[in-house]
Each structure stands twice: as structure tokens, then as C-alpha cells.
Structure 1
Amino acid sequence: MNEATVQFGRLERRGVLLGLSSGQVGLIGGALFVVLVAVRGAGGTGLAVAAPLWLLLSVAGLVGVGGRTVPAWTPVVGRWVGARTSGRTKASTVLASDSPGTLVLPGVPGVLEVVLCARLGGVLVVDRRAATVTAIARVHGLGILLDDDATKEHKASAWGRVLGGLCRQPQIVRVQILTTVAAGGMGVARRWWREHCLVAESGAAATLADLLDEGFMSTARREHLVAVAVRSPRGRRRLTTDAAGAIAGTLAAVADALNAAELTVDEWLDGPGLASAVRRAYEPLAASDEIPVRVGAPVGVAEEWDRWCTGTTWHATYWVAEWPRTAVDATFLQPLVGDGGARTVSLIAQPVPAREALRQIRRARAEYRADDAQRQRIGQVEDRAITAEVEDLDRREAELVAGHGDLRFTGLVSVSAPDRDRLADACRAVEADAARAMCDLVRLVGQQGAGHLAASLPLARGVR
């Protein structure tokens, strides 16, 4: 039996006219307007005098910088300059919140409410700004790498049914699947040694202590979390018991679907578990037995153009710009979640209603057809990449008509290191691992703080 494979769609790069975005068309239109006014006003002399302006507009509209057009860079640079000017690139908070039932995180606007849900056996995180209620489950599976082809296909199909079920629950806003890889594979043995044999009275004991310390740093500890964000009940300032019970019912259905896919839900995180998970998002290099339970966040954070600092740890976050363009099996992400240092791989899935998805597909197809007609009118050859994007749209529409759901996926990868030099090494390593996984990574710039929080915080916050 052949191994089951999957084909990912391409990143859509369509524009409003000949592949150009509205911003590019505006700049080129501005350049043509300047040329027209200059020629009508002073002929060739006016054209020469106005050359710096219309040339600048033309170059800005046609030339890309770092894989982005100038109009695409404008909001990124504008937000970054505004943040630097107003001091929002640095944030601080108290070491532990004195108010029970609240979570104050540097870099996250507002105060998050933490509500205990007895029916769920864990806590719910209420975000009033986003109008969502989030619960986090710790899960584990038996793995898929060493399974035979039939078992791999069965597990992949079961996971597909989980994703399909998410599209049929309108209460679910977003789901985040988060895998954290960090040092600490021998954490239990190391902690037991510290508690029972802290004093090394012999050479053998000292040698064993050194081996445990070395093993702690050289072996990887993996944690898998699934965060589910559901819509907050409208018109309620506080989450009532009945509303929490209804949300728990939705989350229980998600847990049943995960169990059916051979993914065991160990627990829904309680208060201490949530605090520990949040702190590890900021300080993934800290040993789990060295993190106080009440400490939910570092004292402060500082954002730079292409990196983020939290306490004593430096982070860099990447966006998965392109998934594999060729057919791959279910284990294609293995290089990214292997023993490659401290990193977090986060997949955010947002269900798209079928009507909205069909409307987007048909609008995109109409834009492609109009663009194709314009190309034929001027004699321009169609790019093969555009043909592939149209084929992806046809495939998506056929799947929706057949009754399948549509999900908007975002992949984020965050790497961490104790200093800048080792962060650079970690970035080179993750880029090499992404190439092995046939994924194209783009390092975020001007958005490192928001990117790292979306990638590493198990709160299903999503990205913009």
C-alpha cells in the first residue's frame, strides 16, 4: 500500500492589475500623473525637472525590497517607528499578580481573566478585548514516524476528521497546536538527585551529578499543547456558571475528537499549569523545576527590529510563508520538531464559514480572469505560478462543494537562545531544518514581539 501524501496550496500573490497591488497601482498612477502634468506644463523641460519625483514613484511601485513591495513595507515600518517613538517596544509587569483570577503579561494589552471551570477540570482564559474564552489541553500521542504506511494513513485521516469537525462548530474561533522543544529530557531524574543526593560525598556521586546535568541540557523535552478559543457569550461582563458549562461542553467535544484521533488529552491546564506554560513561553531555557509556580511572566521585555528579549533569553520568530509545493507525507515537519535546540512550532487554524470561503474563492477567480484578459490585451505571457494559484482555487471550491470545511492556517516558528551569538546559530539551524522540511521561512521584522507571543503563548491569539 502506498503511503498517503498531501498537497498544499500556494501562497496567493494576486493583485488588482497585472499582478500589482492597489498600493503599487497608486504609485505608478501617481508617477504617470506627474509626467502628464509636467509635459503639458513645460514640455521636455518640465519632464526633466520632475524626473526625480516620477522616477521615485515608479521605482517605489515596481521594485521590491527584501521580498516585499514598498507599499507592503509602509505599515510595518510605520508601526515600528510609532512603537519606538512611544516607547511601546519595551514593557514590564510585576513578577506575580496580586489579584487572583487575573493574568497580566508584558506585550499583551489589557488584563486576562482566569476562571476556574469545575466541569472542565481546568481554567478558562477570558480575553475581553478579543471576545474569546480559551482553554489549553496538554496532549500526547504514540507518534507516527515509525508506523507503517497503513497506520500513518489512518492517523492522518483521523486528524483530518478533527479539523473537519472544527469547521462544523460555529462557537470555535481558533485552534492552536503548539509543540515546544527545550532542554530538560532528564528533568525528573535531575530533580530527584537534587532532593535526595544533593551532597556528592564520593567521586562516583560527583560524576553522576555531572552526567545528570549534561544529560539535562543535551536531551530534549517536548510538550504538546492544544489551545481552543471559543466565542465569549455576548452581553456578559462576567462569565457565569451556565456559560462556562456550555463552553466546557464544546471543549469536551474537541477532546473526544482528539481521543478518536489517538491523541490522548492528559489534562486541561489548571491555574499553576497555565502559569508554568506561560512562563515557559517567555523563558523556555529555564528548567521546569526552577520556575516558581506563581511566576507567570518575566519582569520585562524589549523588542528589537528582528529579535525579542525576555529577561535573560533572546528570541527570533519566523513565519511559514510557503508550505511544501510537492506532495509530502504526514511526517514532513519532523526536522523542525527534532533536537535542534530550544524552539516552538505553532500551527494556528481558523475555521472559515463555507459561504465566506466560497465568496472569497469566486472573488479571487473573477480577479484572475480580469487580470488574464488584461494580459492578453497587451500581449503579456501568463506566469505558470498564476496558473497554479487558479488550480488551487478550483480544488478548494470543489472540496467545499463536496462538503469539506475550509481552514485558514498560519505557521509560526520561534527559536530561543541565551545570547545574541547563540541566537544567530539557532536561526541558521532552524532555517536549515525548514529547508529539509521543504518549508520557506520568513523572519519577522518590526513584529517580533507580536510574532513571538502568537507563536509561544498557548492562548490561540492568532496573528494579523
Structure 2
Amino acid sequence: MTDTTALAESRATTVRFARLSQRGLLLGLSASRVACIAAAALLATVSVFLAGPTGFLATAPLWGGLVALAFVRKGGRVLVELLPTAAHFVVRGVLRQDRFRVQAGRPRPAGTMALPGDGAALRFLVDDVTGAAIVHDPHEGSLTVVAHVDHSAYILLSPEEQRRRVTGWSRVLAGLAASGQCIRAQALETVCPDSGEGVVGWWRQARAEATSDGVAWATEQYDALLDTYAPSAATHRSLIAIAVAGPSGALGSLRGARGVKEVDRLRQEMSTLESSLRAADLRLVGWLSEDDLANLVRVAYDPTAPGSVPRQLDSAGPVALDEHWNWVRHDSGYSAVLWISEWPRTDVGADFLHTIVFQPNVIRSLSITATPLSPRQAIRDIRRAKVEHVTDAAQRARIGAIADLADAAELDDVLDRERALLAGHADLKFTGLITLTAATIEDLQDAVAQVERAAIQCGCETRRLQGQQARAFTAAALPLARPVH
């Protein structure tokens, strides 16, 4: 007899992620760590030759500090690699660039988005043809539009249908990468706790009719279900933002002949994405207008603000924002951004993030940014990784160090990536960020701990970003397909 359950599970789509590369300049150590170790060795050697043991002990705090910088970790990062971020954070604090306040007497110029930090350079315009809000980054030279997508519950589908949906979504990403125009794509899933009044109100209207049909037992079960789960209801919204190459410079550059051509090219990408989404059984609700995008931005910075009030993008930004080392304070909330530093290392289903997405009673957003790499750039990265692996293996053999399985696993990941590239598949670099928001700093710490435990259940490792929370919040909480550094 055939085990249908095992057969269905075997047909379910599984994925495996590559490990985070740990290659470096020497024996897996980065250039900055090697420089610290070399400086410490040089300082200790010179002190011994000049002053003997006394000089060695006298300079111990100096060379010992350098060694500590090379090996001591904080927040998952080595101290010497954290120094540039810490220095930048301190400089911004001295210059008061870690604070943002709206100046009522000095309104922002028309067409700006009134965002803090590097988002202050963003401009926008409304497409006359599609009505979509187009975000222009004059520094990067990119144009971004956002699509609101609706879809059925993936986890309730059959294994065959799940596999078909995953294949369809992979074709969407492959199409964006193959066009050569898309420089970045962002899938953003926002989750906000809901009072449950909508579903409760619907059931109250339908309950009388269901009771009259003689299904009292079913109505009792629905009543018990709503009493249990309605308080923990949540509103989910799926957004896809695509950024394509556009003109650099001021917003006026979009009004010229070249700007009109770039906008036409953007419309072609939008049309292609619409077709790909239909083929993947994803329903395009619509391209976000200025009012829709403004509401998303406002609610991200002020979770207590109503989400259905007509707004404009030039006034949707935060009223006040204070950046701290590992969290940010904005309007009526506190937020922290977590980076998914390691994806699952074993075969997992395509719904492996289910525990994070459906974590109850937490205001959060899950952002996955895909950056297409050109074939030439991908081949160059693969060759560099292979050379680093061979060099590292030779150095380990020279000094008699034992090679571990992690090195072999990284090499296998590089070779799998090369095989996929030679087979004609697109090469994309994925970055996952989780934004958590709470009303108080204590609630935020609880939410961070809760989501970190959920990430462990998903097979992921997360790190709380340090010294760059404001920039990460703009990239992770807003559907703007911003670059992540």
C-alpha cells in the first residue's frame, strides 16, 4: 500500500540556502582583523627588543587591546569590524544628525517625501497614465513603484498547488532579473494587530441565517473560535516594490525627454510584472497611489495613526525621530530592526517563515530584498570565492591546521551557485530584515525576544543591527526598495 502522506510530503517544494561566507584575507580572518593581529605582534616584538620583559609588560594594554579588537565579539560582530559603524554613529551624534524634527515654519519643497537621514533626498511624482506614485532617488538614479498583491493562504493549499505557486513566484523573480532594468526588488509583508471587529461583525450578520438553517452546532463552534482568536487577529498586507534604473539629478530631470523615456521604460516593467503575477496566481490589487503610499509611510512612523485618511507624501514622514544604538524612537512608537544573518542550512519548505509571519500580538514587517547580479558580476564573485577557498586551504595545510566540514560546505555552495548560473538561471542576492514596533521600550524588548525565538524555530539566525537603526528602518519598514548596506 502506498503511503499517500509520505508521497505528498515528498512532492512538496523544499529549498536549501547557502551558508554565510566566512572567507577572509588569511585563515578566514578579514583584512582588518589581520591588520590588528599584525600590529599587536609588531608592537610586542619591538617592546621586547627595546626594553625586554619590562617593556613587554608595559605595552601589554596596547597590544592586548589590539588582540581584543581582533577576537572579541559584540552583537555577533568582531569589535574591529564594528569600529567604522560605531565611529560613524558617534560622529552623527556629535553633529546632531541622529535627531529629526519637523519644522512647521519651514515646509519642505514640493515633491519631497519628508523622510529623515538618507531618505531626505527622495523625490516623488504621480504617473499620469497609471496613477502610481513613482519614487525617485537622485543619488542612485532609480525609479521605484509599489504594487499591492493579494493571494490565497499558501499553507492551506495542496502540495502540488504549493509547488506550482513557488515555481510561478520564481519565474516572477527570474523575469525581473532577466530584463536587465530592475536593480532591486523588495517583497514586504506588513502585519498589524487587529481588533477583530471586522470578522466578528461579519459573523454576527451571517450567524442568524446559519442558525435558521439548522446548523446550531457549527455556529457554536464558530462562536468559540472567535472568542478565542479574535483578540489576537492581525491585518496582513503584501507589497512588492521594484526599483529600475532611472535618471540621476534633480526631480526636474524626469520632466525632460530623457525622463519621459525612463518613465515609459518603467511602465513596461510594470506591465511585465503584472503579467508575471497573473501567471503565478497572484492578484494585483493595484499600484500604490500617492495617498496609499503616504498612508503606509505615516502608519510605519506612527502606529496609532488611522490608515485610511487622505494624505500627501510631502507630509507623511515622521514628526520626530531619535536614533539610538540598537533601536529608534519615532512619533508614537519604538522600533528595532533585525537582520536575518543565516537562513536555514537544511532542506525546508517554502513556508519556513510561517512562524515569524504569524507571530501573534506583535507589530512587525518582514522585508526580503532581492538584488539581481549580472552574469559577469556573478561569475567574478564566484571566481573570487573559489580563489579565496583554495588559498585558505593551502594556508591551513602549510601550518598544519585541520580543515573542517564548514569549509567544504561553503565550497559546495559556491559550486552549486556556479552550476545554476551556467544552466541559465538568474543570480540574485537576498537580504532579509525584520522590523518590530511597540508602544514602549519594554514591549519592544519583549517583541524582539519573541521574534528571535520564532526565528530559531524557522531555522534562521537573527542579529539586531547596531549603530544603523534609522537607515535600516527606512529600508525594512517602508516599501521603497532601498539599498541595504
After TM superposition, is the score higher than 0.5? Answer: yes
Q: Which 10-residue stretch deviates more, 394-403 or 96-105?
A: 96-105
State yes or no: 1:11 paired with 2:55.
no
Q: 1:293 aligns with which of 280, 291, 311?
A: 311
Conserved 8 A contact 2:291-2:310:
no
- Report the AA paired with residue 354 of structure 2: Q
Would you say the 8 A contact 1:285–1:418 is kept in 2? no
Question: Residue 41 of structure 2: which of 16, 22, 32 is its match?
Answer: 32
Normalising to structure 2: TM-score of the pair? 0.86
Counterpart code for 1:238: S
How far 1:61 moved relative to its partner? 2.1
Conserved 8 A contact 1:285-1:417 = no
1:441 aligns with 2:462: yes
Classify the secondary structure of the residue corresponding to 1:110.
Answer: helix
Which moves more between the two structures, 216-225 or 79-88?
216-225
Shift of 1:48: 3.4
Residue pair 1:172, 1:230 contacting (<8 A) in 2 also? yes
- Describe the superposition over 1:292-335 as per-residue Cα deviations: whole angstroms up to 9, x where unpaired: 52451221111111111111111111000011111011111111
Partner of 2:288: 269
Shift, 1:278, TM fit: 1.2
In the alignment, structure 1 residue 105 sits paired with structure 2 residue 125: no
The equivalent residue for 2:437 is: 416
> What is the aligned residue count?
443
Residue-by-residue CA offset, 1:16-49 (whole Å, 9 max, x unaligned)? 1011110111111112211332233334443333
Deviation at 1:428, TM superposition (A): 1.8
Contiguous gaps of at least 5 residues in structure 2: 1-6, 203-225
Distance 2:13 2:58 in 1: 64
Alignment RMSD: 2.4
Tell me: CA distance 1:218–1:149, structure 2 relative to 1, closer, same or farther (3 Å): closer
Give the partner amino acid of 2:97: R
Matching residue of 1:219: 233
Answer whether contact 2:139 2:249 (CA < 8 A) is retained.
Answer: no
448-457 or 51-60, larger mean C-alpha shift: 51-60
Identity %: 35
Whether the 8 Å contact between 2:294 and 2:316 is mirrored in structure 1 is yes
Give the whole-Å Cα distance in 2 for the aligned partners of 1:339 and 1:373: 46
Q: CA deviation at 1:451?
A: 1.2
Distance 1:339 1:420 in 2: 19
Q: 1:159 to 1:185 in 2, by over 3 A?
A: farther
Q: What are the residue-to-residue correspondences of 1:60-209 with 2, within 5 Å?
A: 60-93=69-102, 99-184=109-194, 186=196
Q: 1:234: how far off?
A: 5.7
Could you say which residue in structure 1 is the equivalent of 2:213? none
- Is the CA contact (8 Å cut-off) linking 2:89 and 2:467 kept in structure 1? yes
SS of residue matched to 2:272 = helix
Amino acid at match of 2:155: L
Alignment of 1:349-428 (within 5 A): 349-428=370-449
The 8 Å contact of residues 336 and 435 in structure 2, kept in 1 or not, is answered as yes
Question: Aligned-pair distance for 1:383?
Answer: 2.2
SS of aligned partner of 1:286: coil
Distance change in 2, residues 1:133/1:309 (3 Å): same
Match of 1:312 among 325, 332, 339: 332
Q: Does the 8 Å CA contact 1:220/1:339 hold for their aligned counterparts?
A: no
Higher helix share: 2
Structure 1 gap ranges (5+): 193-211
2:216 match: none
Q: Tell me if the contact between 2:340 and 2:462 (Cα under 8 Å) persists in the aligned partners.
A: yes
Counterpart amino acid of residue 245 in structure 2: R
Q: Distance in 1 between matches of 2:80 and 2:285?
A: 47
Shift in CA distance, 381/421, structure 1 to aligned 2, threshold 3 Å? same
Partners of 1:312 and 1:217 in 2: CA distance? 22
Change (3 A) 1:439 1:304: same
Q: Distance in 1 between matches of 2:229 and 2:121?
A: 39
- Matches for 1:239-254 after TM superposition, within 5 Å: 239=254, 240-254=259-273
Q: Which residue of 1 aligns with 2:253?
A: 238
- The change in CA–CA distance for 1:97 and 1:215 in structure 2 (over 3 A counts) is farther
| Contact 1:173/1:351 (8 A) holds in 2 | yes
CA displacement, residues 177-225 of structure 1 (integer Å, 9 cap, x when unaligned): 0000002364768999xxxxxxxxxxxxxxxxxxx9x998642111111
State whether structure 2 residue 280 is matched by structure 1 residue 255.
Answer: no
Q: CA deviation at 1:259?
A: 1.6
| Distance of 1:64 and 1:435 partners within structure 2 | 21
Q: 1:189 to 1:403 in 2, by over 3 A?
A: closer
